[in-house]
Chains A and B, each alone.
Chain A
Amino acid sequence: MSENTTKIMQARDMKKKGTTQKVGKVFGLIGVYAFLLIMAIIVLFPFYWMLISSLKSLAEYRLSPPTFIPRAFLFSNYIDAFTTANLGRLFLNTMYVGVVSTLLSLVITIFTAFAFARLEFKGKELLFAALLATMMIPGELFTITNFSTVISFGWLNTYTVLIVPFLVSIFYIYLLRQNFLQIPNELYLAAKVDGTSDFKYLWKVMVPLSLPTLISITILKMMGAWNSYIWPRLVANDEAHRMITNGLRNAFTTTSGDVNYPVQMAAVALVSAPLFLVFVFLRKYIMSGVSRSGIKG
């Protein structure tokens, strides 16, 4: 056998091996995509079902087997949902509580995180550790006493009761303190030399530099207001102060008889829509905040 033929055969073997590996890889990749696609469909299905159901007529909704694209798009369901559940009032209530509590909470968080990150005082480490330890306690434990406390304050059925008890979040303080600690000390010392006050330094330097964390906190806090259910049900379940989730659940509690499911689904879609919009535009901040928390809302 000539040297040339051996070379050719070797090359052919190599090629063969390369192709089988490549084929295996392609099949593997197809498998991976197929798995992801199936999971994605399962994850998305409830959203799809909510949307198409919200556009059907009641008669069409009741069909078995169901239609997967509505025969006629009944947008009037959304108007019905808006009036049945009195969503306008609920939206306003929730927005008011969300905005006010977010603003106040941000101010308190900034002050507290600044004290823990930049100022020196006796018992700092101990106090911070004690605060972190309270994060382990389930919220229900606080609720029992807080319920009595807010009643004795005369706060039942007010906006105050929905805002004040939750203004301090140890988690947000922790998050912001970590961010403040990353800002180099030299900046602080330089500002001191220039005669800048602590307060001015905090607002002119530290807050702007921590903007991403502050945005994350804002979104999580707003989402918290939007999704709160248990506390409002306990302390402010009157028409004037009712929050959106409570209103939604209350408006469609009867499971027997003629529940208009398409209208119910339209209401659910309307309540979910703002969360989606926030998610679409501010995904980065939500994801970075969430991955560090383990807390929903």
Chain B
Amino acid sequence: MVDNRQQWKAWLYLAPAIVLLLIFTVWPIINTVVMSFMEGYSGLLKAGGQASFSIGVNNFARVIGQPTFQQSLKNTILLCVLTVPISTVLALLIAVALNSIKVFQKGLQTVFFLPYVTNSIAIGMVFAAMFNIIGNIGTRREVISSYGVINDLIRFISGNPNPKNYINWINNGSDYWANMFVMVVYIVWNALPFKILVLLGGLQSINKQYYDAAKVDSTPRWRVLTRITVPLLSPMLAYVVITGFIGGFKEYTSIVGIFGENMGPAHAPGRMNTMVGLIYDSLEQNKQGEASAAALILFGIILVVTMINLWVSKKKTHY
């Protein structure tokens, strides 16, 4: 039996959280849904907004119809589809390797966790510096003083120091796929630590008996990995894939880190924009209606992708 005194006390303990949640979580959920149906709504009157609006689904149509939306959606999906599998497979291999050694295990584990404790804008600037070409590039009169360390390494490894042998990664006049490659490298580098940590934790809880049985049968390493480790690790793998996709669809600051707020190389600003970037662009232009519609679309996409992930993992995971 719950007595009234304790009820009253419980709500007192909850009060601060409830008040803040009502203002900053519950109200925004309601308001965003409402605003998304207020066509052409721009709420901030001081910033030149107007109070008049009509009700309809035009916001959704306008957002989807924008070429920037299609570009952002394409970028976001590409980043997800490329980075999640690459980072998951790499993290799995590293975790399995870490789990199989004794000497230096702790030290290497620490090294692989390091990228987690970084500021994604700050280290993005380091990656940009590594890929950056210094000089007057992308113009008729090209003068290059430094190719950037990545180009230098490629030239060194390929043994071809020809000045023409370089790739314009992120500078003026660079190719879309070169930009995308840099983003994928950076995001994978950033995503590895969390995945390794979770997968290694999972590996360490697998019963050693399975491996002893495989040893008695002298099962080859590859079969042990695909037939024992991966199935037993499947709940953890599902977890890192799902969180990876959710994170991937919310990708934004890593692009700001590399390209700055231009969201693209100098000749094509906005080319690398993502869904989240699109929402903030609408918000900064005082178009709350469209921003809300874009946010709901993003939420819908994340929900659908997570459902698909859960559905697939339910079929494939082995508990």
Minimum Cβ distance to chain B for residue A113 (Å): 9
Instruction: Name the A residues within 8 Å of B125 (CB-CB).
Output: 248-249, 252, 264-265, 268
B298 lies within 8 A of A140 (CB) = yes
Q: Number of contact residues on B: which range applies?
A: 35 or more
- Give chain B's interface residues, CB within 8 Å of chain A: 2, 6-7, 9-11, 13-14, 16-17, 20-21, 23-25, 27-29, 31-32, 35, 43-44, 90, 93-94, 97-98, 100-101, 108, 110-123, 125-127, 129-130, 132, 134, 144-147, 149, 152, 155-156, 189, 192, 194, 197-198, 201, 221, 239, 243, 246-247, 249-250, 252-253, 256-257, 260-261, 266, 276, 279-280, 283-284, 288, 291-292, 295-296, 298-299, 302-303, 306
A147 lies within 8 A of B283 (CB) = yes
Name A268's contact: one of B27, B29, B123, B260 (CB within 8 Å): B123
B283 lies within 8 A of A143 (CB) = yes
In the complex, chain A residues 132-189 whose Cβ is within 8 Å of any chain B Cβ: 134, 136-149, 151, 164-168, 173
Once A145-B31, A268-B125 are accepted as A-B contacts, the answer to whether A63 and B146 lie under 8 Å apart by CB is yes
Minimum Cβ distance to chain A for residue B67 (Å): 21
Name A40's contact: one of B43, B108, B198 (CB within 8 Å): B108
Once A43-B112, A148-B43 are accepted as A-B contacts, the answer to whether A62 and B10 lie under 8 Å apart by CB is no
Name A36's contact: one of B13, B108, B146, B155 (CB within 8 Å): B108
- 27 A-B pairs with C-beta separation under 8 A: A28-B221, A36-B101, A42-B189, A64-B146, A108-B17, A108-B20, A120-B7, A121-B10, A137-B29, A138-B250, A138-B295, A140-B280, A140-B295, A141-B28, A141-B29, A144-B279, A145-B32, A145-B35, A223-B117, A234-B284, A253-B261, A255-B260, A261-B129, A265-B129, A272-B119, A286-B116, A290-B197
Name A140's contact: one of B9, B279, B284, B303 (CB within 8 Å): B279
A149 lies within 8 A of B24 (CB) = yes
Minimum Cβ distance to chain B for residue A32 (Å): 5
B299 lies within 8 A of A141 (CB) = yes
B221 lies within 8 A of A234 (CB) = no
B111 lies within 8 A of A65 (CB) = no
Instruction: Name the A residues within 8 Å of B280 (CB-CB).
Output: 140, 143, 230, 234
Instruction: Name the A residues within 8 Å of B110 (CB-CB).
Output: 283
Once A265-B129, A290-B197 are accepted as A-B contacts, the answer to whether A227 and B119 lie under 8 Å apart by CB is yes
A290 lies within 8 A of B123 (CB) = no
Q: Is A77's CB within 8 Å of the partner chain B? A: no
- Give chain A's interface residues, CB within 8 Å of chain B: 28-29, 32-33, 35-36, 39-40, 42-44, 46-47, 49-50, 53, 61-66, 107-108, 111-112, 114-115, 119-122, 124, 131, 134, 136-149, 151, 164-168, 173, 198, 223, 226-227, 229-230, 234, 245, 248-249, 252-253, 255-256, 261, 264-265, 268, 271-272, 275-276, 278-279, 283, 286-287, 290-291, 294, 296
Assembly CA distance A256 to B135 (angstroms): 9
